[in-house]
C-alpha cells in the first residue's frame, strides 16, 4: 500500500507522524546530538542493530541513538527521497562531494580499477585522478561517443579487466548534455563481473534531477545527487544523497557513520521544505527552458544550442534520450559566435540572470564553462564534447520566461555589437 500515491502527494507526510511531535503538522528540527533511551535494555537493543550484531525484526525501526548515526530529520528526508527513485534506501550527506567520495571509497580498494565517463564534475574528477590514484586505485575514462565494444577493449588493453570494480557515470553530462547509455554501462559491468566479484554501476543524476529519470530502472546499482542543486533548489544549502538497495546502502551508511559526513538536522529540515515544491519548481523550470532554447535556436549569433529538447532522430543521443528521460530538463548550453570575448560581453550584460556557477535553483544562472566550471578539462576533451571558448551554460529558474528571454535578448544584442566591431577592426 505504501507507495501507491504519486511522490509529490507524499512529500508533505511520508515518514512523519505528527502525533509523535505534539501534533506539529511540520516536523520540528530535532536539534539534538543524542537521544534518551527508555531503559538500559532498550539502549542495548538499539546498539545491537546499529552494529549489525543482529538483524532488525520485521516491525522494528532502528532506534534513535546519536545524530551522527540517525536523527528524525535525516530519516524522514531519506524516506521521502526514496520515493522519487523508487529505491530501498537512501543516505543523505553534508555535500554532493561527500556522497560521491564515500561511495568511491566504499566500492574501490587499493588495487581496484574504476571506469568513468568523461567529462565528470570537476571535484569528482580531481578525487578520482589525484586522491584515488594516490591510494593505488587505477582509473580509465571513456567518452560519450564510445561504443560498448570500444569501452570493453579499452579496459582490456589497459590491463584492467580483472581489477575493474566500479563504473561511475554522469548523464546528462555537464555542460553540453551529452548522454551516456546506462543499460550499456550495466552490460559492460556484467561483462567484467565474476561469481566472486560484482562490478557495480553508479550514476550521478544531479544534472537531470530526480523527477524525469530513474537510473535504477536502466541498470544503475547506485544513484547519487548533489542535493545542493534541484533537490535543495533554492541555492541556500549544500548537501548530497545516495540511493540503492538495502545491501549496498548498508555499506554506504556504515562508512558514513565512521566518516561522520551526514547532513545536519537543520539542513535536512530545509531539504524537507524543498521537497514539497520539487515537482512544481522543476516543471516550471523545464517549461521555461524549452521557451529559452526555442528562442536561442533562432538567433544568428548563436552557433549551436545543446539542449535535450533540441535533439532530433538524427542525433546519436536521441534514442538514449527517449529511453532514459521523460523531459528535456532545464539545463541549456549554447555556443556564441566570437569566442570568449563575446561570451564575456554577454555574461556581463545579463541583468536578471545571475553570473554564477551551480545550477538547479529557483533563480536562473549563467556561467562560462571553459574558464570556470570546466577550466581543468584537457583541451582535447573540451573540443570533443563541445566546450568551446564561446560556450555559455544556463540553469533556468522559475522566473517568467518572457523576462528571461528579454534579458538574454538584450545581452545578445550587446554581445553582437562587440562581434561586429571586432570584425570591422580586423577587416
Ligand X SMILES: *Cc1c(COP(=O)(O)O)cnc(C)c1O
Residues that bind ligand X (CB under 6 A): 95-97, 121, 123-124, 170, 174, 204, 206-207, 226, 228-229, 238, 240
What's the min distance (Å) between Cβ of 52 and ligand X? 29
Cβ distance to ligand X smaller for residue 238 or 255: 238
Q: CA quadruple 94, 96, 97, 102: dihedral positive or negative?
A: positive
Cβ atoms of 69 and 205 within 8 Å: the answer is no
DSSP-derived secondary structure letter, 29:
P
- DSSP 3-state percent helix, strand, coil across the chain (nearest 5): 45, 15, 40
Q: Which three cell numbers stand for residue 303?
A: 552557433
Q: Which three cell numbers stand for residue 181?
A: 547509455
What's the min distance (Å) between Cβ of 123 and ligand X? 5
Strands (E) across 267-385 are located at 302-306, 331-336, 354-355, 365-367
Strands (E) across 122-273 are located at 138-142, 164-170, 200-204, 222-226, 240-244
What's the min distance (Å) between Cβ of 39 and ligand X? 40
Cβ distance to ligand X smaller for residue 176 or 226: 226
What's the min distance (Å) between Cβ of 306 and ligand X? 16
Cis peptide before 95 (omega within 30 of 0): no
Cβ distance to ligand X smaller for residue 301 or 365: 365
Cβ distance to ligand X smaller for residue 204 or 367: 204
What's the min distance (Å) between Cβ of 121 and ligand X? 4
| Residue 82 DSSP SS3 | helix
**Angle value at C-alpha 265, between 60 and 250, nearest 5 degrees:** 45
Q: How far apart are CA 25 and CA 71, in angstroms?
A: 18
What's the min distance (Å) between Cβ of 99 and ligand X? 8
| Residue 151 DSSP SS3 | helix
Q: How far apart are CA 64 and CA 41, in angstroms?
A: 14
What's the min distance (Å) between Cβ of 410 and ligand X? 28
What's the min distance (Å) between Cβ of 418 and ligand X? 30
Cβ distance to ligand X smaller for residue 226 or 327: 226
Q: Give phi and psi for 253, each to the nearest 5.
A: -70, -35
Q: How far apart are CA 8 and CA 325, in angstroms?
A: 18
Q: Give phi and psi for 115, each to the nearest 5.
A: -110, 130
Q: How far apart are CA 185 and CA 209, in angstroms?
A: 20
Residue least distant from ligand X (Cβ)? 96
What's the min distance (Å) between Cβ of 120 and ligand X? 8
Short-list 78, 76, 81, CA closest to 18: 76
What's the min distance (Å) between Cβ of 359 and ligand X? 6
What's the min distance (Å) between Cβ of 174 and ligand X? 5
Q: How far apart are CA 114 and CA 165, in angstroms?
A: 6
**Which uninterrupted H or E stretch holds 318?**
helix 318-324
Cβ distance to ligand X smaller for residue 238 or 352: 238
Cβ distance to ligand X smaller for residue 128 or 301: 128
Cβ distance to ligand X smaller for residue 101 or 342: 101
Cβ distance to ligand X smaller for residue 155 or 220: 220
Cβ distance to ligand X smaller for residue 63 or 119: 119
Cβ distance to ligand X smaller for residue 224 or 248: 224
Cβ atoms of 85 and 3 within 8 Å: the answer is no
Q: How far apart are CA 224 and CA 145, in angstroms?
A: 23
Amino acid at each position: 500500500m505504501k507507495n501507491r500515491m504519486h511522490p509529490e502527494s507524499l512529500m508533505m507526510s511520508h515518514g512523519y507522524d505528527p502525533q509523535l511531535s505534539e501534533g506539529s503538522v511540520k516536523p520540528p528540527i530535532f536539534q539534538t546530538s543524542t537521544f534518551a533511551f527508555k531503559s538500559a535494555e532498550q539502549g542495548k537493543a538499539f546498539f545491537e542493530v546499529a552494529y549489525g550484531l543482529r538483524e532488525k525484526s520485521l516491525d522494528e525501526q532502528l532506534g534513535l541513538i546519536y545524530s551522527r548515526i540517525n536523527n528524525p530529520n535525516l530519516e524522514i528526508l531519506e524516506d521521502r527521497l526514496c520515493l522519487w527513485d523508487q529505491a530501498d534506501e537512501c543516505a543523505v550527506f553534508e555535500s554532493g562531494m561527500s556522497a560521491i567520495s564515500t561511495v568511491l571509497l566504499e566500492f574501490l580498494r587499493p588495487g581496484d580499477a574504476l571506469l568513468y565517463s568523461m567529462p565528470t564534475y570537476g571535484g569528482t574528477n580531481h578525487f578520482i585522478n589525484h586522491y584515488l590514484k594516490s591510494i593505488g586505485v587505477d582509473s580509465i575514462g571513456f567518452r560519450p561517443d564510445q561504443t560498448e565494444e570500444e569501452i570493453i577493449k579499452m579496459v582490456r588493453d589497459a590491463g584492467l579487466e580483472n581489477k575493474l570494480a566500479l563504473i561511475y557515470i554522469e548523464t546528462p553530462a555537464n555542460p553540453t548534455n551529452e548522454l551516456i547509455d546506462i543499460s550499456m554501462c550495466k552490460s559492460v559491468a556484467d561483462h567484467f563481473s565474476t561469481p566472486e566479484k560484482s562490478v557495480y554501476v553508479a550514476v550521478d543524476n544531479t544534472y537531470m534531477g530526480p523527477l524525469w529519470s530513474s537510473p535504477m530502472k536502466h541498470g544503475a546499482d547506485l544513484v547519487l545527487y548533489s542535493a545542493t542543486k534541484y533537490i535543495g533548489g533554492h541555492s541556500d544549502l549544500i548537501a548530497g544523497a545516495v540511493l540503492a538497495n538495502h545491501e549496498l546502502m548498508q555499506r554506504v551508511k556504515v562508512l558514513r557513520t565512521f566518516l561522520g559526513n551526514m547532513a545536519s538536522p537543520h539542513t535536512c529540515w530545509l531539504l524537507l521544505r524543498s521537497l514539497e515544491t520539487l515537482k512544481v519548481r522543476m516543471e516550471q523550470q523545464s517549461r521555461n527552458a524549452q521557451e529559452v532554447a526555442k528562442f536561442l535556436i533562432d538567433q544568428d549569433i548563436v552557433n549551436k544550442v545543446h539542449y535535450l529538447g533540441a535533439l532530433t532522430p538524427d542525433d546519436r543521443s536521441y534514442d538514449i534520450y527517449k529511453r532514459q528521460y521523460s523531459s528535456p530538463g532545464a539545463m541549456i548550453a549554447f555556443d556564441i559566435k566570437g569566442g570568449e570575448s563575446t561570451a564575456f560581453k554577454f555574461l556581463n550584460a545579463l541583468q536578471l540572470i545571475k553570473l554564477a556557477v551551480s545550477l538547479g535553483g529557483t533563480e536562473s544562472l549563467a556561467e562560462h564553462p571553459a574558464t570556470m566550471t570546466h577550466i581543468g578539462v584537457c583541451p582535447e576533451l573540451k573540443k570533443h564534447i563541445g566546450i568551446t571558448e564561446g560556450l555559455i551554460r544556463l540553469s533556468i529558474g522559475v522566473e517568467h520566461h518572457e523576462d528571461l528571454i528579454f534579458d538574454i535578448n538584450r545581452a545578445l544584442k550587446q554581445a553582437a555589437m562587440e562581434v561586429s566591431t571586432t570584425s570591422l577592426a580586423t577587416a
